[in-house]
Structure 1
């Protein structure tokens, strides 16, 4: 079985070597780049995960992540930020850019390994998609027919509930704030409150039981679809 490939992008050589050594001991194939510019010269789609430092030269980790997530070629590559910056705003910025996780320096290498395993597991065995169909375990969403089945039984979702489900299930582990959900689901509608999102998520959870628990509330951040 081929080893899963990880790219570490950090301008601190000591940190890169520590991460590389320990992840290789766990069976991963690890490549190191000491700048975002160097990383962009590589075949990024050959990696199953990128670990990005935030504070780097001319192109920061945030800027690199934004470039990748806005690219049709690279937007599906999982990302973990590793950084000394640890304020709530920094964390929210990282998740809003599509990060799958966020680790603050100084970190324990055991934490890094655990988070790497979790993100790769989600990307390998989480949701599946085929055309306009999305699924996870007993959940099947067909966007062409706008239908949802749970363990083979059709369930009736409102348009907003369906759009929230698709938004979350398409990117397992990604946290969407209430503002993100309002922007993407209610679009240009006025006077939509955070409470409106909460009510729709509560109804959605009930309708997709026993999988309602997969829609997780991240206190202070928003909602995500979590796979086991």
Structure 2
């Protein structure tokens, strides 16, 4: 069955263009033009992916993202005319898996949709595996994360990054390698995007996010996941 995409975009001409490109690639696309309609559609129809414009009438895209993410684990891509880092960080912190800054090419948007759906499908097809690094547990079969015995909610992108690191504790992964493993983002912006996802993960799993015990930065390389009781700090933090 074709993946069902919900497009929430108040610019009707732009929404029609997005829908046309998605349907050309074989997706089933539905379009709404305000935040309340986006919430209602997401709850009633359970689409496979949401494309959310940040600026929507009634309820803005960030609030839609927050509400949907609290209810179910569905991939979300934000569309924004705001290029400021704070806005991008906020969108990712609320649970978005990727973002595109306007203006963008429709083909690029379709490519991002395909990449995010592939990543979500890989997570859903994961073999029954469970990684434990200290008291941080990543359960691939259940698609669950626990830190210190408490459940931790993650976005599909965050879960993919954490699962990749947990599969090889102590190994340093470059940002580029993480991008390849999680099936990620546009190469021009993805290094910073990986950093944002790691920062969000630290807020969720670390006792003190500013002094990470598990998700360590390896300076000049990237990131690694360690067991605090076994790892020697060396040059990483």
Instruction: Please report how far the alpha carbon of residue 107 of structure 1 lies from its aligned counterpart in structure 2 after TM superposition.
Output: 0.2
CA distance in 1, matches of 2:61, 2:16: 18
CA distance in 2, matches of 1:92, 1:117: 22
* TM-score between both structures, scaled by the size of structure 2: 0.64
Structure 1 residue 184 corresponds to structure 2 residue 184: no
Give the aligned partner of residue 86 of structure 2: 89
Distance 1:203 1:125, change over 3 A: closer
**What 5-or-longer segments of structure 1 have no aligned partner?**
129-135, 142-147, 149-155, 206-228
Give the aligned partner of residue 20 of structure 1: 19
SS state of the match for residue 30, structure 1?
strand
CA distance in 2, matches of 1:183, 1:42: 30
CA distance in 1, matches of 2:57, 2:154: 33
**What 5-or-longer segments of structure 2 have no aligned partner?**
147-151, 159-195, 228-237
Kept in 1: contact 2:214–2:226 (CA 8 A): no
Instruction: Please report how far the alpha carbon of residue 183 of structure 1 lies from its aligned counterpart in structure 2 after TM superposition.
Output: 3.8
Instruction: Please report how far the alpha carbon of residue 195 of structure 1 lies from its aligned counterpart in structure 2 after TM superposition.
Output: 7.5
Q: Aligned pairs, how many?
A: 176
Kept in 2: contact 1:81–1:103 (CA 8 A): yes
Distance 1:196 1:23, change over 3 A: closer
CA distance in 2, matches of 1:62, 1:113: 21
CA distance in 2, matches of 1:47, 1:53: 16
Give the aligned partner of residue 64 of structure 2: 64
Structure 1 residue 140 corresponds to structure 2 residue 129: yes
Q: How big is each residue's C-alpha offset from its partner over 1:38-71, in whole Å with a ceiling of 9 and x where there is no partner?
A: 2233254531111000011221000111111122
Distance 1:185 1:40, change over 3 A: closer
Q: CA RMSD in A?
A: 3.1
Q: How big is each residue's C-alpha offset from its partner over 1:194-213, in whole Å with a ceiling of 9 and x where there is no partner?
A: 476316952549xxxxxxxx
Distance 1:115 1:192, change over 3 A: closer
Kept in 1: contact 2:215–2:225 (CA 8 A): no
* TM-score between both structures, scaled by the size of structure 1: 0.66
CA distance in 1, matches of 2:56, 2:75: 19
CA distance in 2, matches of 1:60, 1:159: 37
216, 230, 237: which one aligns with 1:198? 216
Instruction: Please report how far the alpha carbon of residue 163 of structure 1 lies from its aligned counterpart in structure 2 after TM superposition.
Output: 6.2
